[in-house]
Structures are given as structure tokens and as C-alpha cells.
Amino acid sequence: MRFSLIISIVTVYLMSNLSGTRAASTPQQGILLVANKGDHTLGIVDPDAGRQIATVPEEGITGHEVAASPDGQLAFVPIYGNSGVGKPGTDGSNMVVIDIAARKKVGNLDFSHGVRPHCAVLGPKDGLLYVTTELDQTVTIIDPKTFKIVGSIPTGQPESHMLAITFDGRRGYTANVGPGTVSVLDMEARKNIAVIPVSGQVQRISVSVDGRMAFTADQTKPQIAVIDTSTNKVKTWIPLPSTGYGTAPTPDGRWLIVAVPGANKVAVVDLATMKVSHTIDVPAAPQEVIIRPDGRVAYVSCDASHKIAAIRTSDWTVEKLIDAGAGADGLAWAAQR
């Protein structure tokens, strides 16, 4: 009897520890979201299985970008229009809200006029949703719980296409494509505090983990502009193998991952040396980069090839290619709790 009891206790102890080890080694769970511009759908991707498990129609002209609510339940898709930035076409005037689990549209925000809403970013501190509204030369502020507009921030520039916010939520930076500038926004005071000249044209923007640098891709030369956020001036340039596009820093702040569509590559920049240390071949037209929250994988949407490249950050190799929809572009990570 005593022997059986001892065996039972040991078994429970071992199973408990094994369960704890499994939990510790399990990657952070989540769903990958992709804006399929060509399909006019939001793609829902199981990143571990490496497949798109569902698509949700956007019911009209297409969205280019997507953001997920902090609880992973909702996706916010600004409906941009049927053209590229600065080009003639339909001016989008709404944003759709999609229930990720139910895989259906559950809300709609009407901006009341054509604004070409594009990039949606959740404020890391205040929980508000910030959306670039290009034609108004503003960033519109939305309460994601009520789907109502609660304010705006002027960018002072046309074609404010993409937005990045520092991790403390105090500063925002927009890439103003045609003017080739970056607007610096005081997110708390809701005002534009500087406009930084960069080049003839820029695309996309990201901010370093410590908030000391902002990165935007020069569209006239194969280089990344590194902006010193303490002086609001371009501090240095990082040469690339071809013209860059989307960028994202790794959570440890060591690397900057850069989509290089002209070469069908991804460049990995060592932020200590400000030089490209690795290049990775990916399918045609890489666009946007996001990093899995645990830092293990970088996901890169590849527009022309309907693919998402999943790149291991441990050895900078493509772990898998995930089928997505036509014109795969904007990406977001929806945490599953």
C-alpha cells in the first residue's frame, strides 16, 4: 500500500514537471492576420500549421493594412480604396471591424467622406486606435470599444501613409510618401511637433525598441534612413542591396528586418554596426514585416506571389512559406489567450 502511494506521488510530481516544461517551451500562441488586397479579404492564418484557415470578405473596395485588438478578438481593417498612394482612384471612407473567431464583420466606422484610411495602430498605453487618414493629412483617433472617432492629430503633410508609435506611447511618426518626409507627433498633446525631410520619396516606417531611432525606406536610392528621435534629424543611412520597403525591429532591439522587394530578398541589419549582416531569398515582392512576440519568427508578406515567408531568427532561414491571398500585404498578430 505504502509502495503504491509512493509511486502515485512520484508519478504526479513527474507529470506536473513535464507539463510545466511543455508549457515553458511552447511558443506564444496567436493567429496571423493578412490583408489580401487582390482578394478584398482578411486572411486568417494558423502560423504553426503554416496555412490560411479562413478568409473574411471586406465587402467592397480593399483594405491594405490590419490591426488586432489586444485581446485577439477583433481585427480592424481601414478600407483604403482601389489605387496606390498618391495615384488616382477610389477614396476609401470607412473601416471594418471583424470578429476573428466568428470570421465575420461585426462593425463599421464611417469617416463621412473619402480619406483613404490606411495604417491602423493600437496605442501601447492608452489603448486607442490610431488610423492614418491621408486625404485629411491627419491621424484619426478612434475608441476601439465604441467604434467612434474621438479626435485627430494633424501631420502637416500629404500622403501620411504609415504610422509607428514608440513603446511608451508618447511619440508617433508618419511616413509621408510623396513629400519624402516624416512627421513627428506628440501623441499625448495630439499635435504635430516636427516635419523631417528625408528624400524624394519614402515608404513605411518603424521605431526602435528603445524609441531612440525611427527607420524609413528611401524610394529613390537603396538605403534606409535612420532618424535620431532626440534631434528629429536623419542621423545616418544604411545601404541595402536594392530599394527597401517595410521594416521591423526584433523584440531584443538587436536587429532590423527589412523587406527588399526590388531584389526579392529580406535584409537583416545589425543595429550595433548599422550594416546588413544577412540577406534571405523570399518570394516575389516582399512588403511588410512583423515579428512574432516571442521573437522567434519574422513574417514577411510577399505581394506578387500570394505568400507569407516565415523566417527563423535563430539562423535566418525560411522555415516555411504560407499560402495567402492575392496581393498579400498588411500583417498583424492576434494573441490568443
Cα of 110 vs its chain's centroid, Å: 23
Cβ-Cβ contacts under 8 Å for 248 (sequence gap 6 or more): 206, 256, 257, 289, 290, 291, 298
pLDDT at site 12: 36
Report the distance separating Cα 225 and Cα 85, nearest Å: 20
Q: Does domain 28-246 have CATH number 2.130.10.10?
A: yes
pLDDT at site 168: 97
Cα of 151 vs its chain's centroid, Å: 23
Report the distance separating Cα 203 and Cα 293, nearest Å: 24
Angle at 170 between CA 165 and CA 172, to 5 degrees: 35
pLDDT at site 16: 37
Angle at 164 between CA 131 and CA 212, to 5 degrees: 155
pLDDT at site 28: 52
Domain ranges in the chain?
28-246
Cβ-Cβ contacts under 8 Å for 260 (sequence gap 6 or more): 222, 240, 241, 242, 243, 244, 245, 266, 267, 279, 286
Cβ-Cβ contacts under 8 Å for 88 (sequence gap 6 or more): none
CA dihedral 224, 246, 155, 150 (to 10 degrees): -150
Are the C-beta atoms of residues 155 and 176 closer than 8 Å to each other? Answer: yes
**pLDDT averages per 10-residue partition of the chain, 337 residues:** 38 37 47 97 97 92 95 97 93 97 96 98 97 98 96 98 98 98 98 98 98 98 98 98 98 98 97 98 98 97 97 98 97 92
pLDDT at site 337: 74
Q: Say how many CA atoms lie within 13 Å of 224 toward its Cβ.
A: 31
pLDDT at site 336: 86
Q: Which long-range contacts (CB under 8 A, 24 or more apart) does 239-245 make?
A: 239/275, 239/276, 240/267, 240/276, 241/265, 241/267, 241/276, 241/279, 243/217, 243/218, 243/219, 244/203, 244/217, 244/218, 245/203, 245/204, 245/217, 245/286, 245/287, 245/288
Cα of 68 vs its chain's centroid, Å: 10
pLDDT at site 23: 33
Strands of 286-291's sheet in order across: 286-291, 297-302, 307-312, 317-323
